[in-house]
Amino acid sequence: MPADLDSVNIEPEKGRAYHHGALRDALIAAARDLIEERGVDAFSLRETARRAGVSPAAPAHHFDGTRGLLTAVAAGAFRDFGDALAAADGSARGRTARIRAQGLAYVRFALDHPARFDLMWRRGLIDGDDPDLKAVADRAFLILDRAARGAEEATHGSADVELAPSIAAWSLVHGFARLAMEGAFGTEPDAAERAAETMLPRVLDHLAL
Amino acid sequence: MPADLDSVNIEPEKGRAYHHGALRDALIAAARDLIEERGVDAFSLRETARRAGVSPAAPAHHFDGTRGLLTAVAAGAFRDFGDALAAADGSARGRTARIRAQGLAYVRFALDHPARFDLMWRRGLIDGDDPDLKAVADRAFLILDRAARGAEEATHGSADVELAPSIAAWSLVHGFARLAMEGAFGTEPDAAERAAETMLPRVLDHLAL
DNA sequence: TGTACATCAGTGAACGCGCGTTCACTGATGTAC
DNA sequence: TGTACATCAGTGAACGCGCGTTCACTGATGTAC
């Protein structure tokens, strides 16, 4: 199994062997491309199979139906998302700087991969109980939470109280990302991008931590 | 046309006249009920017609297809949403109190009408250029923006600068609402509700305006 | 006030479509001996 | 090293489904005279 899904050839090869060899990964990549091109709602198992160059019945050998495949795509998204947050976190020093860096990375990921970001929150389409999905999702949330709590992490008693700054930061960037994606800051192609560049840093100034 | 859609009878009546009389409103009410019951993605024009007790061809006399009907539902949602924000705004005195009140109302609306709230942001499903929709959506945003800018409204020069606190407040409550709806604060039936009651007021404390 | 008739708001059957999944199957692989 | 054979990973045809929309139609309404 290749570590990098981008390297998987999802096109049907001329004279390709009867056995694909890496169909599972190819299907995930094809599904990912499909939703990024046409949106989560345009996903279909048949179209994914078509893109991977296999028959409509082939995916059943690797995934438990539509939900199973989408869950795998979402897990990949959460993994990349967590990586982006971790990288941003590592590049900054100090609690405020780390939160800002993660916030920018959070919105950046959403705007760079809108359909995958969308899918991550589509509880109805994916299996929230899947252990792989849970693991990568929890990891991403933990990275956020640790930065928001900063050094206070281990010193406070009431979980509720110390959760508030985390959730405030999370809500702020999540809301900004969604509003940008949903066209609230303008529907021109580059409106979301411009808002993220010029507006978001200022918006983050209004977060009291 | 009744002002209150709730009063429209959407059930097929025994011995009902051939002409429905208020089919347009009945279809909007049926569509609204359908999506609140089964989610926006489960919407179908045929099922809506079925619920309104008319043939699948009937809606075409009142709406320009699926998109037209959903746009009307979204417009109704934005109207109610704006009403809720305005009521909250009117019940508070002072900039901070008004922002808090509106924030609580914002999240309350989202949790009370999740599918309609969802639909409001589903750019792909509705006609964003519809004048009715634009009017009620703009009104809602204006109510938010006025409270966030407070008395400074007419005094500042740079639009970008004075927009930041508005967008920060908007992003925070929008993000909190979506995260709650998406199950980020727990997937138990009352998790979102509990988060809104116990967490949201504290989260709003972390907004610097 | 009565009547002819245009217009409006429905019907219901039919269309073609893409979907997810099932089914018996077959070609390729890899293992036991 | 060669061969028999079980297992695995595909095929492709077929299923039934619900969908949005079109079509010729018809019953009810309302207006002109």
> For A148-177, what is the mean pLDDT?
79
Per residue in A114-139, pLDDT (tens digit) is 999 999 999 999 999 999 999 999 99
Residues in A touching B169 (Cβ below 8 Å) = 206
Name the pTM for this structure.
0.91
- What's the Å distance between residue A17 CA and nucleotide C31 C1'? 21
Residue A19, pLDDT score: 74
> For A100-112, what is the mean pLDDT?
98
Distance from CA of B95 to the nearest CA of A (A): 15
Distance linking the first and last C-alpha atoms of chain B:
43
Average pLDDT per consecutive 10 residues, chain B (209 residues; last block may be shorter): 40 53 94 98 98 97 96 98 98 95 98 98 96 97 90 53 90 98 96 97 96
Tokens 């760079």 locate to: A112
- What's the Å distance between residue A195 CA and nucleotide D2 C1'? 70
> For A84-101, what is the mean pLDDT?
96
A23 with A63: CB under 8 angstroms? Answer: no
CA angle A91–A94–A96, rounded 5-degree value = 100
Q: Buried (b) or exposed (e) across A152-186, using 16+ Cβ within 10 A?
A: eeeeeeeeeebbbbbbbbbbbbbbbbbbbbbebbe
B140 with B132: CB under 8 angstroms? Answer: no
Residue A119, pLDDT score: 98
- The yes-or-no verdict on residue A73 having pLDDT over 50 is yes
- Please tell me whether any atom of strand C lies within 7 Å of the Cβ of B23: yes
B133 with B75: CB under 8 angstroms? Answer: yes
Distance from CA of B160 to the nearest CA of A (A): 8
Nearest to B60, CA basis, from B30, B23, B32: B23
Residue A161, pLDDT score: 59
Q: Which two tokens stand for residue B16?
A: 């009902």
Q: Which two tokens stand for residue B53?
A: 């007790």
- Range of lowest pLDDT (A36-50, A83-97, A103-117, A139-153): A139-153
Q: Which two tokens stand for residue A66?
A: 């539509």
Residue B21, pLDDT score: 76
- What's the Å distance between residue A46 CA and nucleotide C5 C1'? 54
Nearest to B112, CA basis, from B21, B6, B192, B207: B192
Residue A90, pLDDT score: 96
Residue B84 CB coordination number (10 Å):
19
Residue B12, pLDDT score: 40
Residue B129, pLDDT score: 95
Q: Which two tokens stand for residue B36?
A: 């609140």
Contacts of B188 (CB under 8 A, 6+ apart): none
Q: Cβ separation of A121 and B182 shorter than 8 Å?
A: yes
Residues in A touching B176 (Cβ below 8 Å) = 167, 171, 175
| Nucleotide minimizing C1' to CA distance for residue B52 | C10
Per residue in B133-191, pLDDT (tens digit) is 999 999 999 999 999 887 555 544 555 568 999 999 999 999 999 999 999 999 999 99
B112 with B181: CB under 8 angstroms? Answer: no
Tokens 């990288």 locate to: A87
